[in-house]
Amino acid sequence: MNRVPTKTYFLTGLFLLSGLSVFAQSARKYSNDYLTLGVGARAFGMSNSVIASTDDVTSGYWNPAGLTQQEDKLQLSFMHSNYQGGIANYDYIGLSTKVKENAALSFSMVRLGVDNIPNTLDLIRNGQINYDRVTSFSAVDYGFYVSYAQLALKEGLSIGGSAKIVHRKGGDFATAWGFGIDLGARYETKNNWSFAAMGRDITTTFNAWKYTFTDAEIDVLQSTGNEVPINSLELTLPTLILGAAKKIDIKEDFSLLTEVNVDFTTDGRRNTLLKSNIFSGSPHMGIEAGYKNIIYLRGGIGNFQEVKNDVVIGEEIVDNEVRNIYGTNWTFMPNIGLGLNLKQITIDYALTDVSNQSAAQYSHVFSIRAAVNPTGH
């Protein structure tokens, strides 16, 4: 078999196990962050700025209130994307249906997974190295959504909610189950303005972590200076997303949709454009140009972050040592996308971080949506 240096295997396994213990703390920043990645290539192409304009099966994730705008009797959607150079796979599947003229129901699932991770806990036994004892495991995160939406009594107003089950698993060592609630509202005016509010994890989503290690695995962790994780509870604090969208029809064949969203998190100061010690705000916007409701060209910008650069702007003394102080600059992530609507089948593509402006790596995102009893869009 092809061999990787012993040190590489050993550190890989220990690093991943140590990371699991970090997740299992209460009310941590970026908890369950995989559930904020997004679904659907249309949304990615618009930098996830869609809570006020979403009107299809993906609304079950973005804003359940948008399900009432679905014109088809039944919709089914799939999405696939790779992250970190193909190391992580991110997938989505959704199903939605009109249960009444003024109400809709949807079921969704997202999965983020890293497979074939080397498990080196049993690599060294009695001072002897044996690569045949190196196994592999997967670190997988799931999110299951059941969403319902209905038109409100006030004309133009829709409300909706999602119950979600969280399941996270790290090989045979760690597993977590959790539950949360999302609520959304959308108001559409007669002059093609849409306003929306989306509350994620409004009741504070929890994950109950359980760890299982053999005595031999515990000995390896302790002998290498690693903390042995214990069963614990992880909390995800609420997030509020506000959005506004405007659609303009240009003659008969062309349309232009613009949308701006701001995500307000409540888990403390983050590296975002707006921030305080209590909450942080991350603005992002998207645009979609359409031709005959068949071909769409999309663009978006978001993920503004302040990062250090290589410019030395001063010095400071730390522990009797002189250290350089480096300047900072703001980065952002520009995205683009394409869409093709063939009535029964809609195909979307997005390319994120187009010009490599942010610290994130670019990703290709593909999604497809099928409709039963399509009415066209």
Q: What is the pLDDT of residues 278-333, one digit of tens each?
A: 899 999 999 999 999 999 999 999 999 888 888 878 888 888 888 888 888 888 89
The tens digit of pLDDT for each residue in 106-161 reads: 999 999 999 888 877 777 777 778 787 787 788 899 999 999 999 998 899 999 99
Reported as a pLDDT band with limits 50, 70 and 90, residue 22 is very low
Domains of the chain: residue spans and CATH: 6-372 (2.40.160.40)
pLDDT at site 361: 55
Between CA 367 and CA 377 the distance in angstroms is: 17
What integer pLDDT is reported at residue 69 of this predicted model? 94
The arithmetic mean of pLDDT across residues 173-183, rounded, is: 93
pLDDT in tens, 323-353: 888 888 888 899 999 999 998 999 999 998 7
